Copies of this chain bind each other. A is one copy, B any other.
């Protein structure tokens, strides 16, 4: 149960409301986001409490447990959330007219190759570089990423190219270290429901690309975002990256309807990852165009100058020249729907 409180409530009154509820054996947590004051309440038989609380004078509205997210919803925040990252010429916005392209290798391999790809994607017009250092891999015998040694490489790329960088964070205790170097966190599909991690980055201010779990539905994605929002961080960018289906021609099934569905339910920006969704470089361009046309607020792409030699995910990486063509087409499609790539 979520209690939306009157916005002019004093801290003292808030405490009193919380105490009164806790005295009946419930748990509470106070939340401040988007200029709203909320009290989250849980326990059995909240039905009775719900009826009572609705009448309290400090209470604006009570939302019962069947509606499992609120801050992430259009009900709470009507207009699109716009998330601004970086400064000056390098500033990028998600959720506005702009459709940023994020590109780079699946994993950072060496400083040289990473820098080379960074320069290539920059030349193609990309403003955000992706390069993972910590790779969650299904098999313990697959390349796990070069780890924290790579943080210096990210730093070097930022200095030399001016690009913003996004990299994955896998656990709460890693977040502070990664935050020093990354402009944007990525929380991967396997960690969408790592609530400890969500709570931790919720207490930071760093923008987060939150990927949908491969076995998670849209409501669960919004609930995961709600964790981050409710702990204080409003900078959440959702990412549709394909779900598990019976179709096996593509590695995952890109749920294109998730884009307009999320936009209907939520004000948060949503981007797509056609590389991981399809697992096939030949499909990446078409899926990117589809995503843009459907209203995606960005796209994250795997690019490698030598896909066949990539440490991981080579089959889905596009080449620099394919990236150039993709951006050219993407600009046209974006323009057709009144946006800019």
Chain A interface residues (CB < 8 Å from chain B): 1-2, 27, 40-45, 65, 68-70, 136-144, 170-173, 190-191, 193-197, 213-220, 223-224, 226-227, 230, 243-250, 253-261, 263-264, 277-278, 282-283, 286-287, 289-295, 309-311, 314, 329, 332-333, 335-337
Contact = CB atoms under 8 A, between A and B. Distances in A.
A100 to B, nearest CB: 18
B261 A253 contact: no
B337 A289 contact: yes
15 contacts: A1-B141, A42-B144, A65-B139, A138-B224, A173-B173, A190-B193, A214-B215, A244-B244, A254-B257, A286-B293, A293-B293, A293-B333, A329-B337, A332-B336, A333-B336
Contacts of A336: 329, 332-333, 335-336
A119 to B, nearest CB: 21
Chain A, interface SS category: mixed
Nearest to A335: B336
A230 B230 CA distance: 38
Q: How many copies does the complex hold?
A: 4
B243 A215 contact: yes
Contact of A260 (B42, B170, B286): B286
Given A139-B69, A195-B136, A249-B218, A333 B329 contact: no
Contacts of A277: 257
Contacts of A43: 143, 311
A293 B274 CA distance: 14
A261 B249 contact: yes
A37 to B, nearest CB: 15
A245 B212 CA distance: 15
A248 B141 contact: no
A321 to B, nearest CB: 18
Contact of A246 (B139, B230, B243, B283): B243
A64 to B, nearest CB: 10
Contact of A142 (B68, B293, B335): B68
Contacts of A196: 170-171
